[in-house]
Structures are given as C-alpha cells and as structure tokens.
C-alpha cells in the first residue's frame, strides 16, 4: 500500500511515509499554504450574525447553514452594519469567534501553557465542539488566527486519536476543584486523607486510601480530569476533518504544533519585570524593611499603570 504526501505530492510506502514526513523540509507556513489551497472558491459559506452574544449566535448560524459546505469561501455579514465582505469581515468574525471559543469552551491553568477543553455535556450535546473544530480549520485556511491555546497533550490526542498515547501530569489538570484535591492529597496525613475518601473514590480510584498510595491516588485524579474530556476531543476531531486538516496534523505533528499550542510567553509586561526583580530587603520587621516594601508596592503600581495605558 502506498500513500501520497499531501505536501510534496510524492508517493511513498505507508510504512515509510511518516519517516518521510519528518524530513520533508516543510514549515508551518507551508502547512497553512496547503490548507488554504483546499478552500472551494466556486461557492460561498454565508453567515449573517449579530455581535450580541456572538458565541451562541455564531455557533447557531454556522450549524444552520445547509446550502453550502464550510469548506467554501466564508462571507460574513453583521446585523446593522453596512458593507460587503471582501475578506476583512470574515477574518474579523474568525478572530472574534476563536476568542469566544477559547473563553467559553476551554479552561486555563496557572502555568499558562495552554488550556484543556471544558467538560460540558450541554456543549457536547449541541455539537459545539465539532463546530469549533470547523471554525478552527476555516480560520487556518482563510487567513484567520491559529487556535494556539491548547495544552500539548490535547494536541497530541487530536493528531492521533489514540488515548493510550496520552501523557499527562498534575500540571495538565485545569479543573480548579481537582487541582485543589491534588494539592491536599500531596501534603495530607492518613487521617486527613480519610476526610477526602468520597472525593477520591469519585475519581475512579478503587485501592486503599492511605499515604503509601498517594502516587496512585493522585494519578487517578489526574486521569479523571483529563480522560473525561476525551469525548469532547473526539467531537473536535470531527470538525478538524475539514480541509483534510486532521490528516495533515497526523502526518506533520511537529509542524502543526505551533498552530495549536502556545509557545513561551516572552512578552515584557508588568508581571515579567516584577518576576525578574530580586530585591535585597533589609531585616524583616525593621523600619527600612517597611520602607522598601512600600517602594516595591509603588513600583508595582507604576508598572501596572503603564501596562493599563498600553505602554508595554
């Protein structure tokens, strides 16, 4: 059996095409160019939507459009606004919808290394995640921003669809309650663990609840937090079938990674500057120490004021 590389169009044996893919010499821009070439220009996928409650109305209009495929060129009209979409309105719609998808359907963590899908059966039932996947694909194909806000393990699963290959740790838990439970378990004694037996058992752990089993208990909580959103990711994968994007992600995961997973945040802002400050304070409790703390507080307020004014 053979398969054609969708980028260089050469034909390879299926046993070696993955090896070829890792050495094809392509870049993320080439991926975007190829996806853009899959847009059907003969018809348009028309969306007429209000900016009020854009997420819900945008999702509904996206799903109700039955005349053409979302693979066609997107054309957007906003209620109450004049103008013909020559590309700018559709890009604006994709940008705002992706921001709403990130805010409504994903949950962030403290380390700012990407977000997990929100465990929401209502959104799953309404096929919001499938539509979200289609909008992500359309954004990549039609000049919108990339959905670079997911955690890496989510991206890896989207590429392969193989839950056995998922590698997660405590830092990948974005559910607030489960994060607090992990912190509690990490420092708990036997008696303290006993107070959380019901919560632990609800996470699917079936062993003995004791300090000696902490690692196994924490692992169960981690898996409860991440594996329960696998059906959500499966629905998202269906949306990413648009433009054969899922096929490209499977063949070229490293090239597609920056399109879905945020990189290192090296933006200079108030938090960045304060993080780099390492003041050498006087003895705690002394008059000098109090003055130095006040100076740092004023400095923090000054930096925050600059940031609020858009100076960074």
CATH number at residue 242: 3.90.1750.10
Instruction: Indicate whether 284 belongs to any domain.
Output: yes
20, 36 in Cβ contact below 8 A? no
76 in any annotated domain: yes
SS3 sequence, 88-149?
Answer: HHHHHHHHHHHHHHHHHHEECCCCCCCEEECCCHHHHHCCHHHHHHHHHHHHHHCCCCCCCC
* Residues 250, 120 share a domain: yes
Residues 239 and 304 in one domain: no
Tell me how many domains the chain contains.
2
Q: Assess whether 118 and 55 both reside in one domain.
A: yes
Residues 134 and 252 in one domain: yes
pLDDT at res. 264: 62
- Mapping DSSP onto H, E and C, the string for 166-209 reads CCCCHHHCCCHHHHHHHHHHHHCCHHHHHCCHHHHHHCCCCCCC
Q: What CA–CA distance (Å, rounded) separates 6 from 248? A: 8
**65 falls within a domain:** yes
Q: What is the pLDDT of residues 294-311, one digit of tens each?
A: 898 898 888 888 877 776
Residues paired with residue 2 on neighbouring β-strands, in sequence order: 13
Answer whether residue 112 is part of any domain. yes
**Low-confidence stretches of the chain (pLDDT beneath 70):** 6-9, 16-26, 110, 264-269, 311-312
CA distances from 214 to 123, 166, 172, 177, 227 (A): 34, 21, 18, 18, 20
The pTM (predicted TM-score) of the whole model is: 0.74
* pLDDT for res 8: 64
123-156 pLDDT tens trace: 999 999 999 999 999 999 999 999 999 999 999 9
Question: Does any domain span residue 202?
Answer: no
| 108 and 256 assigned to the same domain | yes
Q: Answer yes or no: is 177 within a domain.
A: no
Range of the domain at 100: 27-163+229-260
Instruction: Give the C-alpha distances (Å, rounded to integers) separating 120 from 202, 223, 233, 273, 275.
Output: 18, 17, 12, 37, 35
What six digits make up the tokens of 123? 């959104």
Residues 6+ apart with CB under 8 A from 68: 43, 44, 45, 46
């Amino acid at each position: 059996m053979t398969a054609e590389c969708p980028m260089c169009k050469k034909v390879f044996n299926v046993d070696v095409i993955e090896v070829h893919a890792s050495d094809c010499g392509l870049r993320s821009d080439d991926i975007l160019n190829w996806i853009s070439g899959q847009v059907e220009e003969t018809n348009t996928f028309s969306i007429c939507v209000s900016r009020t409650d854009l997420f819900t109305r945008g999702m509904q209009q996206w799903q109700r459009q039955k005349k053409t495929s979302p693979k066609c060129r997107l054309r957007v009209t906003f209620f109450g606004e004049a103008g013909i979409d020559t590309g700018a309105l559709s890009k604006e719609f994709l940008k705002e919808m992706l921001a709403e998808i990130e805010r409504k359907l994903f949950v962030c963590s403290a380390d700012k290394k990407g977000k997990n899908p929100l465990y929401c059966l209502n959104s799953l039932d309404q096929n919001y995640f499938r539509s979200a996947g289609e909008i992500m694909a359309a954004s990549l194909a039609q000049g919108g921003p990339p959905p670079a806000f997911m955690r890496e393990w989510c991206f890896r699963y989207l590429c392969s669809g193989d839950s056995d290959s998922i590698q997660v740790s405590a830092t990948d838990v974005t559910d607030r309650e489960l994060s607090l439970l992990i912190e509690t378990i990490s420092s708990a004694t036997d008696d303290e663990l006993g107070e959380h037996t019901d919560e632990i058992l609800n996470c699917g752990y079936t062993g003995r609840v004791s300090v000696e089993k902490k690692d196994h208990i924490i692992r169960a909580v981690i898996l409860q937090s991440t594996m329960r959103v696998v059906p959500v990711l499966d629905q998202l994968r269906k949306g990413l079938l648009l433009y054969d994007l899922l096929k490209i992600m499977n063949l070229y995961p490293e090239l597609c990674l920056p399109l879905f997973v945020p990189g290192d945040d090296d933006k200079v802002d108030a938090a960045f500057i304060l993080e780099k400050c390492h003041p050498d304070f006087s003895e705690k409790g002394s008059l000098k120490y109090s003055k130095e703390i006040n100076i740092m507080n004023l400095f923090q307020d000054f930096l925050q004021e600059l940031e609020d004014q858009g100076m960074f």
